Structure 1
Amino acid sequence: MKNGQLAPGLSDDDLLVDGDDAPAPALLSADPRLARLTEAAKAYARAARSENTARAYDSDWRQFASWLRRNGFDELPPSPDTVGLYLAANAEAGVSVATLERRLSGICWRYRQLGQPLDVRDRHIATVLAGIRRKHARPPTQKAAIFADELLAMLSVLDMDLRGLRDRAILALGFAGALRRSEIVGLDCGPGQTEDGGGWIEIMEGGALLQIYGKTGWREVEIGRGSRPDTCPVALLETWMRLGRISHGPLFRPIARKNGGVSSERLTDKHVARLVQRCAMQAGIRGDLTEGERKRAFGGHSLRAGLASSAQIEEAHVQKHLGHASAEMTRRYQRKRDRFKVNLTKAAGL
C-alpha cells in the first residue's frame, strides 16, 4: 500500500478492514500451503483481541465514521485536527473520560489496520485530550465488593436444579479465584480444547488449578477446597460437571429453558454480571440503596473485589492471585483494608 492506495489486485476483503482481523497478505498463487497459512494468520490475528475488545473497537469506529459523515469529513487520511474536534464533541455531550480514551484506542486500532496509523501524540489530539482530562476526569467508579457472608446468602437464593448448580459454581469459583467475568466463562475443561478459550482447569485432590490468560498474560490460580461441600467452589464445580456431563470444551454453558439440555456453546460474560446483580438483590445485600442503585452497584467485578477485600493474608499474595502488575492496582480492589497502617507523618517526627 502506498499513499493510502491499495496495491494492484488487492481489495478491502484482502485487507480485512472490517476490524475482525488484521491485514493478511494477498495470495500470489493457488498454493494450498499458502492458503492454509493465510487462514492460520487470520485466526492468530483474531486471537490478538478479546471478543469484548473487538466489539468495543468496532462500535467505536462506527460511531466515529458516522460522526465524520454527518459533519462532512473524510475517513482517510486520518486527521489529528478532526479527531480533536471529535473528542471535544464527545466531551461536550457528557461522555466520560474513560469511555473517550477507549474510543480513541478503537479509532487508532482501525487506522492501523488501514495502514495509516494515527499519531495520538500529535498536539491537536494530545492537547485537547489533556484539557478534557483536567476538566472532566473523575475517580473511577467501582463495583461494590461482595464479601464471604454475602456470597453465602447469594448462593442460598439459587435453586437446586441444573441451572442453579451451574450458577452456584460460577459465583463460588469467581469469588475464590478473584476472576474477571470473561475469565470465568473463558475456562475450558482442559488445554487446547477450543479456539476461543481463555484458560483451563485441572481438578486435584487438594483443589482446582486454573491456568488463565488475562490482561497481564498467563497466570496460575490455585483454589483450595472449602470446609463444606455446599459452599466449596471445587465441590460445586465437580457437581456441575458431573450432572451437566461436562468433560470437554467450554466449562460453563447455557441451558435450554424448554428441555433443560446443556448447550455445547460457551456462556457469555454478560450472564455473570446479570447473575451477580440478580442474586445480590434477591439476597437483600445493601438494602439501604434503591433498586436502581443496587443494580448499578453490583457486577462481575464485585466477586473479584470481594476476595481482594476479604483475604486476610499478605498483600503480595493477593496481588499474585489477582494477576496485578502493581500493588497499587490491588489496593484499588480492596474495599476494606487497614488504612493509615503505615503512618509516614509520625515516622517523620510530627
Structure 2
Amino acid sequence: MEQERHEGIGVPDHVAVPAALAGSGSLDRLVDTARDYARQATAENTTKAYAKDWAHFTSWCRRRGADALPPSPELIGLYIANCAAPDTKAPALSVSTIERRLSGLAWHYQQRGFALDRKDRHIATVLAGIRRKHARPPAQKEAVLAEDICAMVATLPFDLRGLRDRAILLIGYAGGLRRSEIVSLDHGKDDTPDSGGWVQIEDDGAVLFLRGKTGWREVEIGRGSSDQTCPVHALEHWLHFAKIDFGPLFRRTSRDNKRALDVRLSDKHVARLIKQTVLDAGIRSELPVKERLVQFSGHSLRAGLASSADVDERYIQKHLGHASAEMTRRYQRRRDRFRVNLTKAAGL
C-alpha cells in the first residue's frame, strides 16, 4: 500500500473530511466532488507526464536502495546528474526534459504534503552545471506556411473524413492552436465534462473560447478570401454533413465513412494528419521522408500562423495567448530580420 502511495498518478487523496468532523453521506459526496476539481488543477497530458517522471524517479531510488520520501535535495541532485550522464545504456536526457522532471517531482511532493526547494544548492548547482555543459538551442519544428497549408488541404478528398480533416487543418492553422486545443473543442458551452472550449459561429467568422493554462481566452477566426481555404466555411461543411449540433467538434467516423461517431478524436490524429498531408503535398521534397516526418508536427500549424501573418506582433501574441513577445518570436520562423537597424540609428 505504501508503494502504491509513492507511485500513484497524482490522485488527490489529501482531499478529505476534516479529522475533527464526523463523516456523513453529504460530506463524503463533497469529498468526491472536491477530488474531481483537484484533478482538473493540471492538464491531463501534464498529469500523465508528471506521473511518468515520478515513476522513473521512484524506480531509480529503489534500484539504489534509497527512499523517495521525504524529499532529499542531495538525492535529487544525484538523480538529475545521472539523468544527464547515465551510468547505464539509457540515453542522456536533454536539459529541458530534466527541468520538466524536476517540475514533476515537485508537483508529486506537493501532493504528498512535502515541499521540494529547487533552489537548494544541492539541486541548483548541479542543474546549473548541466545547463552550462549540455544546454543547446531548442529544436524547432518546421512551420507550415500559407502556401503549404493550401497544398495540404488540396490533397484531401471531399468525403466525410476529408471534410473533417480539412476543417482541422484550417481551423488549427488560422487559430494558431495546439493540437490538444483543436480536439478538445465542443460544439457548445458545457456540452461535455472533458471540454476544453467551444465554438461560436457568426456572420464574420468564428469565435473560439479556449481554456488554457492561465484561464480562458477568446480566439477570433475571420472568414477567408475563398471558400476553398476558408476555415469557417470548412468547419460549417463538416458540422453540416456530420450532423453535429452537440458534443465534441471533431470526432471519429464510422468504418464506411458515412457518419460521425460520438468518440472525440485524439490529439495524435492531428499530428499524423499534418505529417501525412505534408508528404502527400510534396512539401520540402528535397529532404528524405524520415526527416520530413520528424520536422513537421502539431506545432507546425501554430508556428506557421505566427510566421505568415503580416500584422503587428502584438496581435499575434494575443492570438496565440502568449504572456510575452519573446515567446511569440520563438514561433516566428520567417520574420523580417534587421527591419530596425539600431547600428545606423545610433549613427554608425
Calculate the TM-score normalised by the size of structure 2: 0.93
Deviations 1:193-239 (A, max 9, x none): 22211111000111101111123422111111112222211111111
Deviations 1:20-65 (A, max 9, x none): 3362114754423212321221111111111110110111111111
Change (3 A) 1:158 1:22: farther
Q: Report the AA paired with residue 188 of structure 2.
A: G
Distance across 2 between alignment mates of 1:29 and 1:16 = 30
Distance across 2 between alignment mates of 1:263 and 1:97 = 42
Q: Report the AA paired with residue 120 of structure 2.
A: D
Change (3 A) 1:53 1:338: same
Q: Report the AA paired with residue 210 of structure 1.
A: L
Distance across 2 between alignment mates of 1:115 and 1:15 = 12
Change (3 A) 1:174 1:235: same
Distance across 1 between alignment mates of 2:254 and 2:122 = 52
Look up the match of 1:64. 57
In structure 1, list runs of 5 or more residues that go unmatched. Answer: 1-9
Per mean C-alpha deviation after superposition, the further-off stretch among 30-39 and 114-123 is 30-39
Distance across 1 between alignment mates of 2:182 and 2:14 = 31
What SS does the corresponding residue of 1:254 show, helix, strand or coil?
A: strand
State the 1:267 CA deviation.
1.3
Per mean C-alpha deviation after superposition, the further-off stretch among 32-41 and 107-116 is 32-41
State the 1:18 CA deviation.
3.5
Look up the match of 1:7. none
Structure 1 vs Structure 2 CA RMSD: 2.0
Look up the match of 2:227. 229
Look up the match of 1:298. 296
Look up the match of 1:322. 320
State the 1:253 CA deviation.
1.2
Look up the match of 1:115. 113
Look up the match of 1:90. 83
Distance across 1 between alignment mates of 2:261 and 2:233 = 22
Q: Report the AA paired with residue 38 of structure 1.
A: V
Q: Report the AA paired with residue 24 of structure 1.
A: V
Per mean C-alpha deviation after superposition, the further-off stretch among 248-257 and 130-139 is 248-257
Among residues 227, 242, 248, which one is paired with 2:246 in the alignment? 248
Distance across 1 between alignment mates of 2:149 and 2:260 = 25
Distance across 1 between alignment mates of 2:224 and 2:11 = 42
Look up the match of 1:3. none
State the 1:325 CA deviation.
0.9
Distance across 1 between alignment mates of 2:3 and 2:237 = 49
What SS does the corresponding residue of 1:264 show, helix, strand or coil?
A: strand
Look up the match of 2:71. 78
| Kept after mapping to 2: 8 A contact 1:254/1:263 | yes
Change (3 A) 1:35 1:260: farther
| Kept after mapping to 1: 8 A contact 2:17/2:23 | no
Distance across 1 between alignment mates of 2:55 and 2:7 = 16
For 1:99-138, list aligned pairs within 5 A.
99-138=97-136
Change (3 A) 1:22 1:153: farther
Among residues 5, 28, 39, which one is paired with 2:32 in the alignment? 39
State the 1:143 CA deviation.
0.8
Look up the match of 1:24. 15
Distance across 1 between alignment mates of 2:285 and 2:187 = 38
Q: Report the AA paired with residue 177 of structure 2.
A: L
| Kept after mapping to 1: 8 A contact 2:160/2:259 | no
Distance across 1 between alignment mates of 2:340 and 2:209 = 35
State the 1:257 CA deviation.
2.6
| Kept after mapping to 2: 8 A contact 1:276/1:298 | yes
Among residues 243, 259, 268, which one is paired with 2:266 in the alignment? 268
Distance across 1 between alignment mates of 2:276 and 2:61 = 40
What SS does the corresponding residue of 1:95 show, helix, strand or coil?
A: coil
Change (3 A) 1:141 1:224: same
Look up the match of 2:150. 152
| Kept after mapping to 2: 8 A contact 1:20/1:54 | no
Distance across 1 between alignment mates of 2:56 and 2:176 = 34
Per mean C-alpha deviation after superposition, the further-off stretch among 217-226 and 253-262 is 253-262
State the 1:13 CA deviation.
9.2
State the 1:11 CA deviation.
9.0
In structure 2, list runs of 5 or more residues that go unmatched. Answer: 87-91
